[in-house]
A and B are shown apart, each in its own frame.
Chain A
Amino acid sequence: MSEVILKGLKKVYDNKVTAVHDVNLEIKDKEFIVLVGPSGCGKSTTLRMVAGLEEISDGELYIDGRLVNDVAPKDRDIAMVFQNYALYPHMTVYDNLAFALKLRKTPKADIKKKVLEVAEILDITQYLERKPKALSGGQRQRVAIGRAMVRDPKVFLMDEPLSNLDAKLRNQMRAEIIKLRSRIDTTFMYVTHDQTEAMTLGDRIVIMKDGYVNQIGTPQEVFNRPVNLFVAGFIGMPVMNFFDNCKLLEEGGVFYAEIRGVRFKLSEFQQKALRKNGVKPCDIIAGIRPQHVTVGEGELKATIEVSEMMGSEYNIHARCEGDEVVMLIPTVDLTTDVSMGKTVNFTTRPDLIQLFDKETSNNLIWYDEESAKKDAPVCKSYDF
């Protein structure tokens, strides 16, 4: 058992800048949790607090039921993979892997056994006598992971481990991490700024901004039910289309979303949720994912500016009354002409429309009052 519990974790620097506000997070045993957010959002700081590299200003940190706020990093039973690997350049790969064990006075034979075992798993056995300089980026990455593995840590911390690799290698290593995870079977805490990595790797994703946690949830949850404008815009590729200055209307007890003069009658579920949340008609920002747009029907109109044929789908940039609309249209069954310059009708399924309060930028349907931070700044722009 090795769960990690962050209770009101806070980081205030000496210059009174608060990098992390009150992070609450319960990481279950063997869970793969990903902290994601734009740079400066506090995700790395949070990880470094768990590692013990950063002093905890306030709150409590439990690893495996033990309060470890002020326990030295080496006594926390954690291991960490650094962004630029941090391999010891003067040591061979073998010595890099063995260093931590040597420091613990592990018997030599045991060290050897463990190092060879890990090297086998990571497929770096043939490089054990080399220095890190003689390795490729991907190989260095494996060594860095191996160095963490030899110690059988309770918690495996990874700080943007793939960001120094080129795109192709990154995809490959991502797949390897998924494989690796099934083999080493421990708790992972993984920091990245890349939402694709977060979505593909995480059991749960923690989305942070400006030192606040915005949402914690499974990839499906954060994709389908973003709690606010920021999460909606951050998760998902291409970025969700936002329509500012829309209205939420109520007529005869029924809610409609009005986008550019076109009314959408909201689904039963949305009606119920809005009533439950006590929402009154108001100005909203409506969000529609590019994947959820259908062309050739409906009353919304857009002029196509760029149309990219991607094989199985068209990636279309269009303009709808000043708003840029990105559409991802499957080529199968496409009968509408989507060449550049054409004006097309488009629509979406009402139940897939995300409704954000223009005042607070919170999702009117999925917003969870409980977990919301009262003092968190409102994110009004979705331009990031």
Chain B
Amino acid sequence: MEAKAKPLLTPGKMTKGQRRMRSLKDNAPFLLMIFPAVLVVFLFNYLPIYGVLIAFQDFMPGDKILSDTTIWVGFENFTRFFSDPQFWPLMKNTFLICIYGFIIGFPLPIIISLMLNSLKTRKTAKWLQTIFTAPHFISLVVLVGMLTLFFGRYGLVNNIVAHMGGERYSYFLESSAFRPMYILSSNWQDFGWSAVIYIAALSNVDPQQHEAAILDGATRFQRVIHVDLPAIMPMISVMLIMSIGGLMGVGYEKALLMQTDGNLAVSELISTYVYKRGLTGVPDQAYATAIGLFNSVINVVLLIIANTTSKRFSENSLW
């Protein structure tokens, strides 16, 4: 072995500045690794955020967002929306579909996960879980297609009704059927998927806790209430915060597919209205953007309120 072979490339001891430079050089590869993600987020998330400026402008498609000819109109687009005859119906439709969805969709996965966890055999639970999560992977188009095949004029329900001598009756043209169909089909599709996170948390409960409870004389049901439920409580809080943050945040994808002339009175939501005013017919982009912005601000405010409240009353919060 040659003892003092290679000369030092770096000085043995560095000044603070040199150190910082070297640390930067050592870690520069990370910057390269993160760069594509930064670029993608910049293009598809931040540029649109910059684009909301048109909500405060008199904007025609093709205009530059910032130029000498930009006409600023302040909050005019917003006030226009507030006096739009559609304003209250939109708010109501959006809120109602979210709140009904929440009332049914929030507890359901919790109950299902507790029930699955109470099964005696792990294997059955695994099988049921596989079945319950399957619909999550059905696309929205197919899901709504299936709805028409069951509840449309010539769907299963009507076929049976007709078979028994009744009148065919399309649930898709009926305002009153829209919300139940929307919410129940959403739950049919996603309750199993939403339960997975609780099931994961439940599987981490120490079996000795259950054994201790059995020795204390607890019934299986009491153990669900006093052992299992407390174990997923933190998860429930986080989910609750997120759900409250989404109480006005229903998207357009599914509603658009389910809309018909007949149910428009309840199926027109803020998000679908934004789509229609902004991208179809004679587009009024500035107006549609203002409505969308109004909606996102509501969502952020709801989320902050939910998080702050949760922070005050428990130790669970998102941030």
Contact = CB atoms under 8 A, between A and B. Distances in A.
Interface in B1-33: 1, 3-4, 6, 8-14, 18-19, 22, 26
A152 B3 contact: no
A64 B3 CA distance: 9
A262 interface: no
A67 interface: yes
Interface string A50-68: 0000010000100011111
A70 B19 contact: yes
Given A1-B3, A152-B1, A67 B10 contact: no
B8 A71 contact: yes
A67 B4 contact: no
Interface in B118-164: none
A340 interface: no
A69 interface: yes
A183 B13 CA distance: 34
A69 B4 contact: no
Contact of A69 (B1, B3, B14): B14
A75 B13 CA distance: 14
Contacts of A65: 4
B9 A69 contact: no
Nearest to B18: A70
A72 interface: yes
A69 B10 CA distance: 10
B12 A70 contact: yes
Contacts of A72: 10, 26
A72 B11 CA distance: 11
B1 A71 contact: no
Contacts of B3: 1, 64
B19 A64 contact: no
- Size bin of chain B's contact surface: 10 to 19
Contact of B8 (A60, A66, A152): A66
Contact of A71 (B4, B12, B19, B26): B12
A67 B13 CA distance: 7
Nearest to A68: B12
B15 to A, nearest CB: 10
A9 to B, nearest CB: 12
A70 B22 contact: yes
Interface in A30-62: 55, 60
A75 B9 CA distance: 9
Contacts of A70: 10-14, 18-19, 22
A253 B283 CA distance: 108
B55 to A, nearest CB: 43
* Most-contacted residue by chain A among B8, B14, B22 (CB, 10 A): B8
A284 B10 CA distance: 53
Contacts of A71: 8, 10, 12
Contacts of A75: 6, 8-10
A189 B11 CA distance: 24
Contacts of B9: 75
A75 to B, nearest CB: 7
Contacts of B11: 70
A281 B79 CA distance: 91
Contacts of A67: 12-13
Contact of A66 (B12, B19, B26): B12
A152 B6 CA distance: 15
Nearest to B1: A152
A152 B1 CA distance: 9
Contacts of B8: 66, 71, 75
A114 to B, nearest CB: 13
A70 B22 CA distance: 9
A194 to B, nearest CB: 30
A65 B14 CA distance: 17
Interface string A1-22: 1000000000000000000000
Contacts of B6: 75
A171 B240 CA distance: 54
Contacts of A68: 12
A311 to B, nearest CB: 38
Contacts of A69: 12-14
Interface of A: 1, 55, 60, 64-72, 75, 152
5 contacts: A60-B13, A64-B3, A64-B4, A67-B13, A70-B14
In the A-B complex, list the 9 residue pairs whose CB atoms are closest, starting with the nearest. A67-B12, A69-B13, A70-B14, A67-B13, A68-B12, A69-B12, A70-B13, A71-B10, A70-B10
Given A60-B13, A68-B12, 12 more contacts: A65-B4, A69-B12, A70-B10, A70-B11, A70-B12, A70-B13, A70-B14, A70-B19, A71-B10, A75-B8, A75-B10, A152-B1
